[in-house]
Structure 1
Amino acid sequence: MRFGPMETSGEPQKDEKLIELFHSFRDMFNFFCSNTTIHGSVRLVCSSRNRLKTAFWSLLFLATFGMLYWQFGLLFDQYWQYAVIVTVSVRSEPKMFPSITLCDMNPHRSQLVDQYLENLDEFAQENIYSLYKLNITRRQAGGPGGPAASPNSSLPFHLDRRIYLEELKEGNIHKVGFRLCNSTGGDCFYRNHSSGVAAIQEWYQFHFINIMAQLPHHNETSPIDHNGHFIFSCCYNGEACQKQDYEIFHHPLYGSCYTFNSRGMNDFWKAKRPGLTHGISLILKAEQNSYLPLLSTEAGVKVMIHAQNQVPFLEHQGFSIRPGTETTIGVREVSQGAGGAALGLSTADSTDDQSRECRRQRQRTWLRNSAA
């Protein structure tokens, strides 16, 4: 047997390579059209024999591409508007009426100190006459005049006549003032002014504050003593208010205060319908003639609307109503709650909220103890 190389044809044999590149773009295009399985691309670019089919698929491709960008545009436009979804549900059900606190803004009543102020006015007239030989009656000074009220025997006050106005000399300068000395009279403190009017005002204010400091603690808790004093008429939902429907306490700045529906336990205060006719209607007496001019800078009614079992902080909240006018107030309740850590930085059991509530609870306890 003989072995030898096989006979080959006349065509040259090509070696296969790992990565073969096409010699031209036409070869690559023909290879793509012959081997691809994307039917859309074949009909779009490889159907040279049917130009109508190529045109149809070209229009379909452009329309689909345009709708894609149109949807992208709508999506981004909606995103940049920062739209918020708010769900509002309207329900009609009985709601407990909020607590209302009303104050007469008169912490001290002049009836308690009328007699002592009369004595102070007479003492002031004596001092003015001794200095300037000028006799001014109370009616000339702008006071009401007439007989004074009977003195209050429960007020142990004594007008110190050792503190009087006198002329003080410092060299060639004449001043008017008064002096405050200790019990032995050896150590004295002088208050003098070049103006006699300024000296009289400061001297009068000193005695006036001394009178007011002797006033006893004004504990107004009996509703019998306040019958018709401040609340002249009260009506809620067409029915008259009862005395057990409000609580009375004394505020050091705003005087006698009345809180309606403070506990929220009586079904009488459940509001079934909205509107003015189904709310509370009050006629109040401001009694401006009983205000002390040096202590009362405003007259009217202090109003605060708050939740049940909440101590009203009238210094920081509430609003004032001037006397002699009719005022209508509309109330709308808005409740807010923390959604938890998944919806933001606030949490339902936040330690800051607990600390603030703890401080408020301590303030309420302190106010209750001081008012008792």
Structure 2
Amino acid sequence: MAELRSSGGRMEAAAQGGSPLEAGAQTPPGPGPSSLPTLPPKEGHQEGLVELPASFHELFTFFCTNATIHGAIRLVCSSGNRLKTSSWALLFLGALAALCWQLGLLFQHHWLRPVLMAVSVHSERKLLPLVTLCDGNPRRPSTILHHLEVLDKFAQENIHSLYKVNFSKGRDALAAIVSPLDPHFHLDREIRLQRLSHSGSRIRVGFRLCNSTGSDCFYRGYSSGVAAIRDWYRFHYMDILALLPTAWEESHGSHNGRFVLSCSYDGKDCQDRQFQTFHHPTHGSCYTVDGIWTAQRPGITHGIGLVLRVEQQAHLPLLSTQAGIKVMVHGHNHTPFLEHHSFSIRPGTETTISIREDEVHRLGGPYGHCTAGGEGMEVQLLHNASYTRQACLVSCFQQLMVETCSCGYYLYPLPAGAEHCSSARHPAWGHCFYRLYQDLETHRLPCASRCPRPCRESAFKVSAGTSRWPSAKSADWTLAALGEQRLPRQSHGQRSNLAKMNIIYQELNYRSVQEAPLYSVPQLLSAMGSLCSLWFGASVLSLLELLELLLDASALTLLLGGRRLRRAWFSWPRARPASGLSNIKLGVSQMPTPAGPSGPHLPWMVVSAKESRARPLPLET
């Protein structure tokens, strides 16, 4: 039974006893107020289950007097001084507004899911990473030798028209046996080098690409003429390589197995099974040193030592413009992407490469977008290796290339059922490729969002130091000793054809970088408690007191609002009943009713017992 209590006594929220209809049936209405039924006086008050104050003033006074929030009692004890009461009320409301504002900022920052980077240093034995070496000298496959000769002549014509350079005859001698020209071979001579603009001393060079109908054309421009020639030549070179069979494998016979002249690890010679060889279309013959060695100690004597042969006479001089060795350090079972993460070693030098490893652990879920081993990815990896973000980006681009251009780029693996792009089978494929590549450069392709970073990966930081090798005084006997190892005679006395490389761990300590949430649940609760203590000196129980105040105020609002609605409903004028219902007698509307929650002036409805038994009528409450 819910009750309303006042300062002078208590008022019941619901009347007790029989209904007014039953009382009216037993006691007929009289002409005056004395005929009203009177309620028996209460001898004592029995406390109800739920009691509410009779007014909001009493509710607020009770809260401020008994609450544990700092400053609330000042609103009551200073009631005799309006200035103090108003001042403390403004301070109380200002502190409440500041608390709500700072809590809003706290939750806004928490929903952004910020993270902290915790760096720790560990010391233990680590596996040496893989090292991939390429001679930077791509080969001329014998089956397309004549095609490349036609391309070289076309390139010389373009360079001569731009820079008036005359190429000496026989500079790049071809093999004695030249395969006949393929009748299906088509060199797109419409794609030629052009001078696009001339601003001051800088000349912009590029080439024009159009679709199959010629309705959509654009220029691929470069500020560097060397970059323009290399990219233009690479495009035609890939177009020719696409004519090769899928199962074609280029032999490494030009080195005769002597690109690596000597190899040692921790003072012991390497074995042939510790090298993996492959041919890269633009970087030439490549070797991956995969010995699965564990670094015991730091230093040169405990690392990998290599003596390499550098070939200065390039087979494709327009594709390879530098003399040196391409080197890339990468993790185990990872595909080396030399065009993105490699560096060069100068011939005639001894280079010491110091490696330092960092392990990165990222948070997934709401704190960041990362993948554990490529699980649940939209992109299917085309490389038979572990997941890396670069491998995913390459696979995504190749799949979009196949979907958009109906063929794949020769440098990247093909999806099942696809074929490489060539002008013989796919005219104007260059227009489609460079359009798609331009969208990739401007981040308009969805590959960046489809390829998250691994949740756990190892990053290798490399530093290098070089010195002249061999020195002037030791060059003769060093080259002679290497010549006894069947070094070609033309390399004797030519220091520029050799390079020495040492690969070591700088130190066995490695850094572990781990992400941690800035606001975990305990930290969030601690920050909320700090703000509540700062502005109100409140605790969790104090917040529950505020919640109780809101619930009591809501309940009191509903009860007082319901009372006003009932008063308005019963004070509304009623229509006179029909003559057929003469046995239903309405009492005097001005007849006072007993005091109760239904109001002081409620009309009584008197129904005779006989008529009530004959046809019960609905009652209004």
Q: Which bin holds the TM-score, normalised by the shorter protein?
A: 0.3 to 0.5
TM-score by structure 1 length? Answer: 0.45
Bigger fraction of residues in strand: 2
